Structure 1
Amino acid sequence: MSGADQANRYLEGNYAPLAEEVTATGLPVTGELPCDLNGRYLRIGPNPRGDADPATHHWFTGAGLVHGIRLRDGEAEWYRSRFVTSERGSPNTNVVSHAGRILTLVEAGSPPVQICPDLAPMAVWDCEGALSRGFTAHPKTDPATGDMHAMTYNPRFGSVRYVVIGADGTARHSADIEAADGPMVHDMALTETRVVVLDLPVTVAAAKRRARAGEPVSNLPYTWDDRHTPRLGVLPVGGTADQVRWVETPLCFVFHVLNAFDDADGSLTMDVIRYDEMFARDVLGPGDAEPTLVRWTVNPALGTVNEEAISEYRVEFPRIDRALTGRPHRYGWFAGFGAHGLMITDDVERSRTEGFGAGPLVKVDTRTGETTTHDHGPGRVTMEPAFVPRPDVAGEDDGWILSVVHDAGVNRAELVVLDAADITAAPVARVHLPRRVPFGFHGNWIADDEIGAG
């Protein structure tokens, strides 16, 4: 069977790429948008341009396509989609703000690409060369200092580079940490005093061995590596390689960290979403195992990791109030898996409407394990949520949850606003978008005061 004749779920349904950029103004709204939401909700994902070989196409690859919804004074002014373009790549994984800039991000080699508030002009931003070797999909910003911490890597180098970018956008620190086999380091953890690098068994070395053996591979050069010891590297904020304390973890892979914080006894707590394996059988996407929300208590002095499940609900794309990054938290918001929070397996018809990590909106109380959901209705599934606090925030969940919802019935998307404290209630507002938004990766609310935009 030729590659063109093979099915690839990551090229079908709401995974399928979009061919054109779109602009629409004066978006219709059901409900009432809070007048305090003044800014942009930006979301990004991979969008292959041209022919993609179904036999080898991996969901994580393809040019970045940014989707933006401008909200101001209770109105939804516009929706725009723009391909990320630069002379050094097209980041497709995350879009964040830092030091007055909007940055599109990807891991493993490409520096950020800065985009303008109207999503128009774009240019590489490598922090005066500090990020020329590449960046990360998930930097962590300390809410007290404004410093952005990142674990960056590039398959051409045998190390992970810990980088700190100051609140003013200048490079403040850099340290190389050896990491054998070329591991995929999608996320990291930050506490008030420490940073954590995840060195887990999905590696370039394993992909090379697999290719040499004639086994199926994708155009993403990473696969499960049962020879690679899973471990965490814990070092002080602003630390160097000689200060790293390595701690072996349970055998697993982690894409995303909900949050981490220091404990009084010298240990640290990390809430993570773990998989028993990744890219072992499904080499085209993350379909090997179900995600589990767990709490790791890491004791670097003893070299131990204690794991306990927080919720039995299957969730991904975890979010907290960003003001609590590195500090103790209680609540997390997530995209649930499927109609009942379950992993989508090989059911092609379901995957066309639901997709990886798509289902109800989920809120978890990490102290009690209490889990609540918001079902968006038949054929309607949420993507990654973002928490936006009210201006005079009175509690950890005093704010709104924004997420893009795909409606398979009409094959279009909405930006849905929920009350973060009571996600079971009817939506506060629904912004109707002119097209579908493909299942992608990450999105963020970027308020006007973060970028000084008019």
Structure 2
Amino acid sequence: MDPPPSERCRASPSSETATVTTTDTRSVPAVRMGPVTAEKLREHNSLFSSLLKEYAYFVEDDMVTGTIPPELTGTYYRNGPGLQIDNPRYRRHTFDGDGMILSLSFKDGRAYFRNRFVRTEGFVKEQAAGRPLFRNSFTRGSADGSLFFNPFDLSFKNVANTGVLSWAGQLYALWEGGLPYRMDPVTLETRGESRMGGALRGNTFGAHYRVTAERDGSRRWVAFSAASGFGGASITFYEFAEDGRMLHETAHPLEGVSMAFVHDMLVSEHYYIIVLGPVEFDGAKFLTSYMLSQCSIAECLVYQGDKPARVVLVPRPGRPSGKVLAPRVLETQPCFVFHHLNAFEAERPGAPAVGGGGPAEPLVVVDTVAWDSVSFSVNQYTYGPEYYNGGSRSHMVRLVCDPAAGTVASHRLLRRTVEFPVADPRVVGRPHSLAWAGCDMVDHPLHWGPNQGIVRLAIDERLGLRPAAAGGGKAAADARVLSSPEGTAEGVAADVWFAGERCFVGEPQFVPRPGSTAEGDGWLLAAVHNAETQRGEVVILDAQDLSAGPVATIRLPHRLPAGLHGSWDAAYTGPADGDEVPRWQELGTIRPL
């Protein structure tokens, strides 16, 4: 299912057919990328299923097409809902599935695969019972589909299914509605719920985070938790040292916010950054639809498209510059953000160099994926092909925030829809010129589709920072992006890899090339669902040349359910040379619910 080398897919803005050009001498047929059909949607939805086996095995040579780079050394971890509750009596949103961690360890051109479920307290009890016992954020009515429903019981199961990070000798499975679960980074055995050595006083911890490189060469895990209650909403930021110690804890109230839905965060040199979409809790819906088991608690969060989004800048403590900055809340056009790319601070155009009398507060640049709107009623059971006809689209945008002036300028970077953006981890919190994201292959001003490719964006670092050229302002600039043959803003170049007509791509993971410090020098790893074979694949792409196709494709002998987020650790966690380890092991079987 791999495309030929050098294949480049590009859609004309006036056509629904992607054209393919290539420098390869082989004949490449045109790829039809029209509006999403019911058949395409069925194939995409086959991704949302369970994997009921736990494995540990060596990736054999006949599973690999191409060559795994011999210098690729370390472990790719990925978390996602590996166990779905899809009994027609109580089928659930995929986000409520139980977390499953996979690891793929690389060394000397070989790979070793493991997957284990996060054995949360709720998972263990439900496996013993053989049926659902607990509700969750997207559950409609009772846990088991019965009429016995207590709508005021908002104690949900920690599914630990969203993020994953190896830190200070522990592997953490993360879910924003509960505490982290510790796991063994080698065996993937669950060790238990964690309060991070007593650092966490609340009962939630964000699934997203940023790992920064400090000036002294050390790394920091920057994380957050959000809380809502009768006393209002607030957000707390944490910074952890490489040995696991908490270095800073910063709490910040979110004024005028009834329900804080914060899925991701960013960090720059001096700020923690979140974007609050105009989402409010609908009390009337809670007292009617929710109480009657017609919607979940998550569906009571309603997008308010007539209200602005807000960029919240919270100063980081203890920065080497010694700057003392004030918190800022800046309004911008309505949008909702699940996932960010990166943020950095920039001098104002024409300002003196740092230390030369420049402004106390720099501009803050936020590159993010902005959704036009959002509905938490959309899931794998409730939407059809019409969902991909206009409606809520996800765009890569640049927000240039001026804390002193209290303004935000928004710049759309790309026509095609994207999600799961990633940057080179070596530039987290600093200026970047490259980005990667899962993308649709329709690339049309109106129609779009699920992620079937990965796009690489080369971005002028000063985009949006220079005085705007004449030409009609933001609306005209966005229109030029939609109608341009390249489908990109001025100062942006795109390169796209297409996984295949019946293949669907998860979040890409950037892995730096050992010994290199150049931004973008490395590989992308991505899990792919092949709807034709109903099995999983993991591709390794040259991050600087996506359209050349994978340098290696690992075809797994089983499916990979929908994943959410992953991470990379430079430590190899597969069997050591000389270990007497079976080449194939089935570690356990999970009961369907």
Report the count of equivalent residues. 433
Q: Which residue of 2 aligns with 1:196?
A: 273
Q: Answer yes or no: is the 8 Å Cα contact 2:180–2:205 preserved in 1.
A: yes
Of 419, 423, 428, the residue aligned with 2:546 is 423
Equivalent position SS for 2:286: helix
Q: Answer yes or no: is the 8 Å Cα contact 1:315–1:335 preserved in 2.
A: yes
Shift of 1:24: 3.1
Q: Which residue of 2 aligns with 1:210?
A: 285
Question: What amino acid does structure 1 have at the position aligned with 2:115?
Answer: S
Of 170, 175, 187, the residue aligned with 2:250 is 175
Equivalent position SS for 2:285: helix
Give the stretch that moved more between structures: 179-188 or 323-332. Answer: 179-188
Identity across aligned pairs (percent)? 30
Question: What amino acid does structure 1 have at the position aligned with 2:52?
Answer: A
Shift of 1:395: 2.6
Equivalent position SS for 1:60: helix
Alignment of 1:137-152 (within 5 A): 137-144=207-214, 145-152=218-225
Question: What amino acid does structure 2 have at the position aligned with 1:57?
Answer: R
Give the stretch that moved more between structures: 186-195 or 46-55. Answer: 46-55
Q: Which residue of 2 aligns with 1:25?
A: 58
Question: What amino acid does structure 2 have at the position aligned with 1:379?
Answer: R
Closer, same or farther: CA 320–339 of 1 in aligned 2, 3 Å? same
TM-score (norm 2): 0.67
Please give the per-residue CA displacement for 1:286-326, whole angstroms capped at 9, x wherever unaligned. 96611000000001111111001111121110011101000
Of 515, 533, 538, the residue aligned with 1:392 is 515
Shift of 1:260: 0.4
Q: Which residue of 1 aligns with 2:413?
A: 310
Q: Answer yes or no: is the 8 Å Cα contact 2:268–2:343 preserved in 1.
A: yes
Equivalent position SS for 1:22: strand
Q: Which residue of 2 aligns with 1:352?
A: none
Q: Answer yes or no: is the 8 Å Cα contact 1:114–1:125 preserved in 2.
A: no
Of 427, 433, 456, the residue aligned with 1:330 is 433
Q: Which residue of 1 aligns with 2:16?
A: none
- For residues 10 and 282 of structure 1, the distance between their equivalents in structure 2, rounded to whole angstroms, comes to 17
- For residues 236 and 170 of structure 1, the distance between their equivalents in structure 2, rounded to whole angstroms, comes to 20
Shift of 1:357: 4.4
Q: Which residue of 2 aligns with 1:84?
A: 118
Q: Answer yes or no: is the 8 Å Cα contact 1:39–1:71 preserved in 2.
A: yes
Give the stretch that moved more between structures: 243-252 or 157-166. Answer: 157-166
Closer, same or farther: CA 221–406 of 1 in aligned 2, 3 Å? same
Structure 1: runs of 5+ lacking an equivalent: 1-7, 346-355
Compare CA radii of gyration and give the structure with the larger one.
2
Question: What amino acid does structure 2 have at the position aligned with 1:253?
Answer: F
- For residues 313 and 155 of structure 1, the distance between their equivalents in structure 2, rounded to whole angstroms, comes to 35
Please give the per-residue CA displacement for 1:236-266, whole angstroms capped at 9, x wherever unaligned. 2128xx9421111211101111100001131
Shift of 1:377: 2.4
Q: Which residue of 2 aligns with 1:114?
A: 183
Higher relative contact order structure (alpha carbons within 8 Å, sequence separation ≥ 6): 2
Shift of 1:403: 0.7
- For residues 66 and 317 of structure 2, the distance between their equivalents in structure 1, rounded to whole angstroms, comes to 46
Q: Answer yes or no: is the 8 Å Cα contact 2:416–2:441 preserved in 1.
A: no
Give the stretch that moved more between structures: 126-135 or 52-61. Answer: 52-61
Q: Which residue of 1 aligns with 2:504?
A: 381
Q: Which residue of 2 aligns with 1:279?
A: 375
Equivalent position SS for 1:14: coil
Structure 2: runs of 5+ lacking an equivalent: 1-40, 123-157, 319-324, 349-361, 461-490, 577-593
Closer, same or farther: CA 246–62 of 1 in aligned 2, 3 Å? same
Of 320, 326, 347, the residue aligned with 1:264 is 347
Q: Answer yes or no: is the 8 Å Cα contact 1:114–1:124 preserved in 2.
A: no
- For residues 228 and 177 of structure 2, the distance between their equivalents in structure 1, rounded to whole angstroms, comes to 6
Q: Which residue of 1 aligns with 2:467?
A: none
Q: Which residue of 2 aligns with 1:353?
A: none
Give the stretch that moved more between structures: 175-184 or 433-442. Answer: 175-184
Q: Which residue of 2 aligns with 1:439?
A: 562
Q: Which residue of 2 aligns with 1:255?
A: 338
Q: Which residue of 2 aligns with 1:349?
A: none
Closer, same or farther: CA 314–388 of 1 in aligned 2, 3 Å? same
**Are positions 1:136 and 2:206 aligned together?**
yes
Shift of 1:212: 1.8
Shift of 1:56: 7.2
Equivalent position SS for 2:400: strand
TM-score (norm 1): 0.86
Question: What amino acid does structure 2 have at the position aligned with 1:33?
Answer: I
